[in-house]
A = this chain, B = another copy of it.
Amino acid sequence: MLCGLGDDAAVVKLDSPILVTTDVLVEGVHFHRWWGTPRQLGQKAFAVNASDIAAMGGCPVYALIDLRAPSMFPVRDLEGMYRGFRGAAARHGVILIGGNTSRAPELSLAVTLLGRASNGFITRGGCRVGDDLYVTGTLGLAALGMLELRAGRKAGAAVRRFLVPPSRVGIGQALGRTGLVGGMLDVSDGFLKDLGHLCTASRVGAVVEAGSLPLAAVYRRTRGRDLSLALTGGEDYELLFSARPAFSRRVARLISRFRCPLSRVGRIVAEHHGIRVVAPDGHVLPIAVGGHDHFSVRRHRAGTRRPRRIHNIRALR
């Protein structure tokens, strides 16, 4: 950083191509403040943005934070959020270069991250027919945690996962370096919806093997064979990507270094097949009949609504 906090703008050095992402957590829309600690909220604000940089195969370098709070909000909690954010940023070597604090009726944290992708970047549009489809970690755990929080529970692996998402930054970077990956994104809106985004951008379809979906032990215990949270729950912040079958051993070896589960959950097929979820006995689960743009569920309660990314901004002209 050449010139940082305290001037009109920060001045930084960063080699092109530069990755830029921004995401926001708004109280009452994405969280309730009594669900977790201020520190966890700060950590999450960093994690959801770092996840977007990871999904491009990049490395976050600089951060800006826009923090708004009601005038009566306790300073101690504000400090807790900063500490959570700064701690998470520091663990990733990310430097805070600016931001604002502002009074507002409700608490919110908006983060902008700048990252580097020195060895190339991975878009959503690179999946090819015949690729294997992989996902890191497990699916549906955060959504389960949110249901538990709504039911008044405040502990357990699922709740922890909802409050502080995993970091797949190391994995994302490693995948970006090696060139093994076709297309990639992070699972934030829900597995099927994000798979839809991946397939739309790559102009392909996908077959998902329901039996291969990675579920945490607590998920299996609580939900039995119900896959709905794993398929549509959202907030997993795992990496979903495709790779040529010839790369399968190299991909597995690479990810194994990170002590993170990796599951092959299906394969990329031609676009006209759409997206299908197939049970172990071979029958197609009815959830997929609508095609990959029809999995979206209207979600209005706090914790279930992700900020809408501006894809259609051109339509607003």
- Find residues 8-39 in chain A having any chain B CB closer than 8 Å to their own CB: 8-24, 26, 28-29
Q: How far is the CA of A101 from the CA of B6 in the complex (A)?
A: 28
Residues of chain A from 281 to 296 with CB closer than 8 A to chain B in the complex: none
Q: Name A197's closest neighbour in chain B (CB-CB).
A: B6
Asked whether B20 lies within 8 Å of A16 as measured between CB atoms, the reply is no
A307-B100, A310-B5 as given contacts; A10 in contact with B19, CB under 8 Å: yes
- Give Cα A172 to B51, complex, Å: 36
Tell me the complex Cα distance, A316–B16, Å: 32
Asked whether A26 and B124 contact (CB < 8 A) given A12-B20, A16-B13, A310-B65, the answer is no
Q: Mark A83-111, 1 if CB is under 8 A from B, else 0.
A: 10010000000001111111111101010
Q: A311 on the interface (CB 8 Å rule)?
A: yes
Q: Is A131 an interface position by the 8 A CB rule?
A: no
Interface string of A105-135 (1 = CB under 8 A from B): 1101010111101000101110000000000
Q: Which chain B residues lie closer than 8 Å to A305 at the CB level?
A: 103
Within 8 A of B (CB), among A34-73: 51-53, 55-56, 58, 62, 64-66, 68
Contacts of A6 in B (CB 8 A): 124, 201, 309, 311
Q: Is A308 an interface residue (CB 8 A)?
A: yes
What are the residues of chain B within 8 A of A112 when measuring CB–CB? 22, 64, 112
List residues of A (189-221) whose CB comes within 8 Å of B's CBs.
201
In the complex formed, the residue of B with least CB distance to A200 is B6
Asked if A2 is at the interface (CB within 8 A of a chain B CB), the reply is yes
If the complex has contacts A26-B103, A66-B66, A316-B79, are A9 and B20 also in contact, measured as CB distance less than 8 A? yes
A155 on interface, CB distance cutoff 8 Å: no
From B23, B55, B83, B186, A317 is in contact (CB under 8 Å) with B83
Question: B5, B20, B66: which contacts A98 (Cβ < 8 A)?
Answer: B20
Docked-complex contact A101 and B185, CB < 8 angstroms: no
List the B side residues contacting A309 at CB < 8 Å: 5-6, 98-100
**A3 interface residue (CB < 8 Å to B):** yes
| A115 CA / B316 CA spacing, docked (Å) | 25
How far apart are the CA atoms of A106 and B29 in the complex, in Å?
12
B22 near A13 with CB under 8 A, answer no
Task: Give the interface centre of A6, A8, A29, A83 by most chain B CB atoms within 10 Å.
Answer: A8
Of B7, B16, B102, B201, the residue contacting A12 (CB under 8 A) is: B16
Q: Determine if A82 is an interface residue (Cβ-Cβ < 8 Å).
A: yes
Q: If the complex has contacts A20-B114, A22-B99, A104-B108, are A9 and B66 also in contact, measured as CB distance less than 8 A?
A: no
A15 in complex: contacting residue of B16, B310, B314, CB < 8 Å: B16
Q: Please, could you name 14 A-B residue pairs with CB atoms under 8 Å apart, sorted by A?
A: A6-B309, A7-B56, A8-B53, A9-B19, A9-B52, A12-B16, A18-B18, A22-B66, A22-B100, A24-B66, A66-B66, A66-B110, A100-B310, A114-B114
